[in-house]
Amino acid sequence: MQPYFNKMTATGYQEIETEIEALKADRPAKIKQLQEARALGDLSENAEYSAAKRDLRRLEGRLRFLNKQLQYAQIVQPSDNQIIEIGKQVTIEFLDDHFQETYTIVGKQEADIQHQKLSFDSPLGRVLVNHTSGQTVTVVAPDDRYDVKIIRVTV
């Protein structure tokens, strides 16, 4: 059985590395808080100790998760053509109301619709991938079905 790799952009990979470094830098302070709370005495009724322990556990869990993301990451470099793929920007027009929007196609873990980052695995992203500008595609979402026209594809 072949391992599954998470496709992502180089920028997404770098963002994960930056978050890991920030968490590692925060770890000594969390450990110190835990030690100080432990020194207060009775651990069974020590709310500071419970909170510090919980915070350290969350930090450690997030570090493990992010390291696994990097371990199974596959950085995708977009090719210089008009085919939609991870790492490219695509401008589309929703044909029902003629509203235009520009998205960057990214990996699942990078998706952030408020910053116009669309996952290649979302209903819209899945339909757009491997198409070119000028084409019209139909998106089948859980509650609706709509058509979008691909206006422009850039690297």
pTM over 0.85: no
Q: Mean of the pLDDT values across residues 29-45?
A: 83
Q: Which pLDDT score, from 0 to 100, does residue 144 have? A: 84
Pure H helices in 7-72: 10-38, 47-71
For 77-80, the CB contacts below 8 A with 24+ separation are 77/10, 78/155, 80/155
CATH for 89-154 (1.10.540.10, 3.40.830.10, 3.10.50.30, 3.60.15.10)? 3.10.50.30
Each residue of 22-36: pLDDT tens digit? 999 999 999 999 888
What the block records as the tokens of 132 is 């070119």
User: For residue 1, is pLDDT > 70?
Assistant: no
User: For residue 69, is pLDDT > 80?
Assistant: yes
Q: Which pLDDT score, from 0 to 100, does residue 2 have? A: 67
What the block records as the tokens of 50 is 């419970």
CA-based Rg of the chain, rounded to a whole angstrom?
Answer: 22
Q: Mean of the pLDDT values across residues 39-47?
A: 75
CA atoms within 13 A on the CB side of 22: 8
CA distance 33 to 35: 5
Whether 31 and 49 have beta carbons less than 8 Å apart is answered as no
| Closest to 7 measured CA to CA, from 71, 70, 72, 74 | 74
CATH for 6-75 (1.10.579.10, 1.10.3720.10, 1.10.287.180, 3.30.470.10)? 1.10.287.180
Q: Mean of the pLDDT values across residues 32-61?
A: 86
CA distance 60 to 114: 28
Domain ranges of the chain: 6-75, 89-154
Each residue of 107-122: pLDDT tens digit? 988 999 999 999 998 9
To the nearest whole percent, how much of the chain has pLDDT over 90? Answer: 64
Q: Which pLDDT score, from 0 to 100, does residue 60 have? A: 96
CA distance 90 to 83: 10
